[in-house]
Amino acid sequence: MNAAPHSAPPGPSTPALVQGYGVYFRTLPFLNECARKYGDFFTLRIPTFPAPITFLSDPEAIKDLYALDGTDSVEAGSIAAPLMANVIGEHSMLIIDGAEHRRHRNLIMPFFMRGQFSKFGDTILKLTEREIDSWPSGARFPLRTRTRNITLKVILSLLFGEERAGSIVAPEVMESFFGRNPSPLVFVRSLQRDLGPLTPWRYFLRLRAEIYRDIANEVARRRALGDGATSDVIGTLISARDQNGAGLAEQEILDELLTMVLAGNDTTATALAWAVYFIYRDAQVLAALRDEIEAAGTNACAERLAALPYLEAAVKEVLRIAPIFPFTLRRLSTAMRVGARELPAGTYVAPCIYLVHHRQDLWKQPERFDPNRFLEARHPAHHYFPFGGGVRHCVGAALATYEMKLIVARMVMRSDFRFDDGYVARTRWIGNFLGPSKDVPVRFRARLA
């Protein structure tokens, strides 16, 4: 039954504090409970958010909403700006809207086309091999910390070039930053205050300042080399020009580079930890992957590995069953019909990636890890959207998928992992995204190919 025009969809009547607890500490069970009780549209009140949020799990409604991305009817960057501007800088593409967002995306996008980043494929394989070879056979460790070592080296090589990657920012600064940051507390606006040397915000600001300074020095060095001197991301950003011949200002470049370090490292590392968890729990999936990779050849190049269909299907299935971001967020600037509902201007709307990815009418046995579902059918963008949708679809989506395929290929051929007895991964917030509990504790043994 449709609600009255411009009314908020129903939702829990419990206090906002209780709902906030559900979102932050029981995220997926809580979302499932709400969807079962209230359907494809429900409203939640969260204490750390300025207004109620309408969650959507109706694919057609989400398609309607994303179709309006980039128009004056829908805002996205301005929602994140109050929380994120102090973290990633006010010029980051994640927190700007309209013409400024389109300009940044157009200037940044050339590097993230497949033909550009695939040049770094063999570098990704080499960095993965080095990291795996450094693991003592028989060692026990939380896997996400090791996949983060790989993805950090990869993103720094893509941004600054392989030869310079390890010397731009001191390794101990990067280790301190990603070993403890970004703490979830840095995304709470009321806690973004310097209350002393032991507070998360002071610690974050100190490390971020060091990273900014070192990146600024490298930008200055690259500018001195002249436009087009390098083919990495920093070279692309320095050389990029819009239709008027204007490039990005220095602070814009710094903010975008810091965003890429943050967004392109921990999220991919977390997805890789989930990949190991799901693949190694299913002997048939693991065997099928190894057979396909072995058939491609022991020394198969990055491009051949990236084209393997079952490997690609396995990576897609990881991102379906355990999306890193459970939902995205938009705000309606005008009243509009979204799917079957009329929503008023000012409504905050959250297309729920997790709920759509687990709909039983779209996915057979959605809780089961099954890469074959991506070999048997094509899935439209409003049914499968782990990187969001609309014109704000993650600019690095193709790169992240490509990187995951190569790293997974090397790990399954070179590594045997055993999970701790009784370990079952639960989701938890890591900064502003979801990851596995305890970072997937494993015992590693080197595998002789």
Q: Is a pLDDT exceeding 50 seen at residue 4? A: no
Mean residue pLDDT across the chain: 89
User: Which sequence spans correspond to the domains of the chain?
Assistant: 16-446
Q: What is the DSSP letter of 195?
A: -
Q: Is a pLDDT exceeding 90 seen at residue 343? A: yes
Q: Is a pLDDT exceeding 70 seen at residue 184? A: no
What is the pTM (predicted TM-score) of this model? 0.92
Q: Report, as an integer, the average pLDDT of 340-348.
A: 92
Per-residue pLDDT reduced to its tens digit, 78-118: 888 877 888 888 889 888 888 898 999 998 888 888 777 88
Q: Is a pLDDT exceeding 80 seen at residue 13? A: yes
User: Which tops the pLDDT comparison, 187 or 215?
Assistant: 215
Q: What is the DSSP letter of 435?
A: E
- Burial bucket for residue 199 (CB in 10 Å: 0-12, 13-18, 19+): middle
Q: Is a pLDDT exceeding 80 seen at residue 303? A: yes
In this prediction, residue 228 has a pLDDT band, given cuts at 50, 70 and 90, of low
Q: Report, as an integer, the average pLDDT of 5-31.
A: 92
Q: Is a pLDDT exceeding 90 seen at residue 416? A: yes
Q: For the residues of 7-44, what is the DSSP string, one character each?
A: PPPP---S-HHHHHHHHHHSHHHHHHHHHHHHTTEEEE
**Positive or negative, the Cα torsion across 334, 336, 338, 343?**
positive
429 by DSSP, 3-state: which?
strand
Per-residue pLDDT reduced to its tens digit, 239-273: 888 888 988 888 999 999 888 888 888 899 999 99
In this prediction, residue 403 has a pLDDT band, given cuts at 50, 70 and 90, of very high
User: Are 286 and 412 a contacting pair, CB within 8 Å?
Assistant: yes
Here the tokens at position 205 are 């600001």
Look at residue 35 in the predicted model and tell me its pLDDT. 98
CA gap 171, 166 in Å, rounded? 7
User: Which tops the pLDDT comparison, 227 or 256?
Assistant: 256
At which residue do the structure tokens 């040397």 appear? 197
Query: According to the CATH classification, is domain 16-446 in 1.10.1740.10?
Result: no
Q: Is a pLDDT exceeding 60 seen at residue 60? A: yes
Residue 330's Cα: distance from chain center in Å? 17
CA gap 383, 58 in Å, rounded? 9
Residue 209's Cα: distance from chain center in Å? 23
121-130, 179-188, 273-282, 397-406: least confidently modelled range: 179-188
Q: Is a pLDDT exceeding 80 seen at residue 353? A: yes
Q: Is a pLDDT exceeding 60 seen at residue 3? A: no
Look at residue 219 in the predicted model and tell me its pLDDT. 87
Look at residue 2 in the predicted model and tell me its pLDDT. 43
Residue 57's Cα: distance from chain center in Å? 20
Look at residue 63 in the predicted model and tell me its pLDDT. 95
Q: Is a pLDDT exceeding 50 seen at residue 394? A: yes
User: Which tops the pLDDT comparison, 298 or 156?
Assistant: 156
CA gap 419, 403 in Å, rounded? 24
Look at residue 449 in the predicted model and tell me its pLDDT. 58
Which percentage of the chain shows pLDDT scores above 70?
94
Start-to-end CA distance of the chain, whole Å, equals: 59
User: Are 65 and 330 a contacting pair, CB within 8 Å?
Assistant: yes
Here the tokens at position 414 are 């070179």
Closest CA to 257 of 127, 169, 188: 169
Look at residue 82 in the predicted model and tell me its pLDDT. 79
Q: Report, as an integer, the average pLDDT of 377-386.
A: 96
Burial state string for 356-387 with b = 16 or more CB within 10 A and e = fewer than 16: bbbeeeebeebeebbbebbeeeeeeebbbbbb
Instruction: Say how many CA atoms lie within 13 Å of 5 toward its Cβ.
Output: 2
Burial state string for 15-50 with b = 16 or more CB within 10 A and e = fewer than 16: eeeebbebbeeebeebbeebbeebebbbbbbbeebe
Look at residue 183 in the predicted model and tell me its pLDDT. 58
